């Protein structure tokens, strides 16, 4: 059992582009749930919309890189409006139902055989990252140290992904300290009260939904940039992973979603490595390596339960905020 390799893999996960994508998506639902009180259980849908819009624009329409990004953003704005127009006037739980269903609809639509020409069907699409690799500003070579040793392309995708995370964090910081953020947080507490003070609650909820959705779709793009896009990745489990990361870090906090994503991704790899290591060293004999992949989710589920019982505000959350029964 190679502890060095296990720890190395886990540490590498800390800064991987997938973790950056998780963090971006978690910042998105932090805007939705943490600040605006919108229950979006379809963040995987927003990620799929972003990823597919980016890939289809690149492959089917030969769009340049900037246009592909624009397509991803626009597609998620349209998606947010489609979800928000019928549901945002209703109670919060309706949005939850609609988002969870829409995310599944998106997943089924992109994997349907009728659209294979554009979406690649169940197999997905690849070979769309040439333009992105083409603008890599780093010369070929080896960068970093230890578990964080990267080739130029690996470095570029990480710098890009985490750069987006930093931009999103700055954006959320600027918005949430502003009067706009105050209105949105007021809506989370009681939307009728905010309405009685002359604020167009519906418009604010829509803006928050679009903002979080765009962050979700950019997360989708970062998610697929280093590899291929596959419909199987966008199931409800992805949404719940992101929720776990958000709650782990603290919902209405600036760094909670980022740290939550890092911890979650690292733990997932670490527990997988340890379990597989123990099995191959014949220390654990009653489960197989394929079962280990499932068992780590049980462990993480148990950890999440402990977390919400003993630290419901997350790592960065303010205990005082939760001590009131509001």
Q: Given the rule CB under 8 A, which residues bind another protein?
A: 171, 174-175, 178-183, 185-186, 188-190, 192-201, 207, 211, 320-321, 324, 326
The answer to whether the CB of 106 falls within 8 A of the CB of 239 is no
The answer to whether the CB of 39 falls within 8 A of the CB of 95 is yes
In the bound state with another protein, the residue whose beta carbon lies nearer, of 62 and 321, is 321
- Rounded CA gap, 255 and 223, in Å? 20
Tokens of 83: 């979800």
Tokens of 96: 């939850």
Burial of 175 (0-12, 13-18, 19+ CB in 10 A): middle
Q: How far is the CB of 204 from another protein (least distance, A)?
A: 8
In the bound state with another protein, the residue whose beta carbon lies nearer, of 2 and 190, is 190
Q: How far is the CB of 176 from another protein (least distance, A)?
A: 9
Q: How far is the CB of 180 from another protein (least distance, A)?
A: 4
Q: How far is the CB of 42 from another protein (least distance, A)?
A: 22
- Rounded CA gap, 255 and 287, in Å? 37
Question: Phi and psi for 143 in degrees, rounded to 5?
Answer: -125, 155
- Rounded CA gap, 212 and 109, in Å? 22
In the bound state with another protein, the residue whose beta carbon lies nearer, of 283 and 326, is 326
In the bound state with another protein, the residue whose beta carbon lies nearer, of 141 and 198, is 198
The answer to whether the CB of 43 falls within 8 A of the CB of 234 is no
Q: Residue count of the chain, please give it.
A: 326
- Rounded CA gap, 256 and 212, in Å? 15
Q: How far is the CB of 317 from another protein (least distance, A)?
A: 11
In the bound state with another protein, the residue whose beta carbon lies nearer, of 252 and 261, is 252
Q: How far is the CB of 179 from another protein (least distance, A)?
A: 4
The answer to whether the CB of 43 falls within 8 A of the CB of 29 is yes
Q: How far is the CB of 183 from another protein (least distance, A)?
A: 5
- Rounded CA gap, 225 and 261, in Å? 18
In the bound state with another protein, the residue whose beta carbon lies nearer, of 286 and 324, is 324
In the bound state with another protein, the residue whose beta carbon lies nearer, of 157 and 247, is 247
């Amino acid at each position: 059992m190679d502890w060095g390799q296990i720890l190395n893999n886990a540490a590498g996960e800390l800064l991987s582009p997938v973790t950056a994508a998780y963090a971006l998506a978690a910042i998105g639902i932090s805007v939705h749930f943490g600040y605006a009180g919108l229950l979006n259980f379809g963040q995987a849908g927003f990620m799929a919309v972003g990823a597919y819009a980016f890939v289809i624009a690149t492959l089917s329409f030969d769009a340049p890189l900037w246009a592909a990004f624009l397509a991803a953003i626009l597609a998620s704005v349209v998606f947010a409006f489609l979800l928000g127009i019928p549901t945002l006037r209703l109670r919060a739980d309706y949005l939850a139902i609609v988002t969870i269903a829409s995310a599944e609809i998106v997943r089924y639509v992109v994997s349907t055989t009728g659209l294979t020409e554009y979406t690649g069907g169940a197999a997905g699409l690849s070979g769309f990252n040439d333009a992105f690799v083409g603008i890599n500003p780093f010369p070929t070579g080896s960068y970093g140290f230890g578990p964080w040793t990267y080739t130029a392309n690996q470095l570029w995708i990480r710098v890009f992904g985490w750069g987006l995370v930093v931009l999103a964090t700055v954006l959320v910081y600027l918005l949430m300290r502003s009067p706009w953020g105050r209105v949105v947080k007021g809506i989370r507490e009681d939307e009728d009260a905010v309405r009685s003070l002359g604020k167009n609650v519906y418009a604010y909820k829509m803006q928050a939904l679009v903002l979080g959705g765009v962050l979700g779709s950019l997360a989708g793009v970062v998610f697929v940039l280093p590899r291929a896009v596959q419909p199987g990745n966008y199931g409800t489990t992805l949404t719940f992973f992101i929720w776990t990361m958000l709650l782990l870090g603290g919902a209405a906090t600036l760094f909670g979603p980022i740290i939550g994503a890092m911890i979650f991704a690292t733990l997932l790899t670490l527990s997988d490595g340890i379990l597989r290591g123990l099995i191959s060293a014949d220390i654990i004999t009653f489960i197989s390596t394929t079962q280990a992949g499932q068992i780590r989710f049980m462990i993480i589920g148990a950890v999440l339960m402990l977390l919400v019982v003993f630290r419901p505000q997350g790592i960065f959350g303010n205990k005082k905020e939760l001590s009131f029964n509001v």
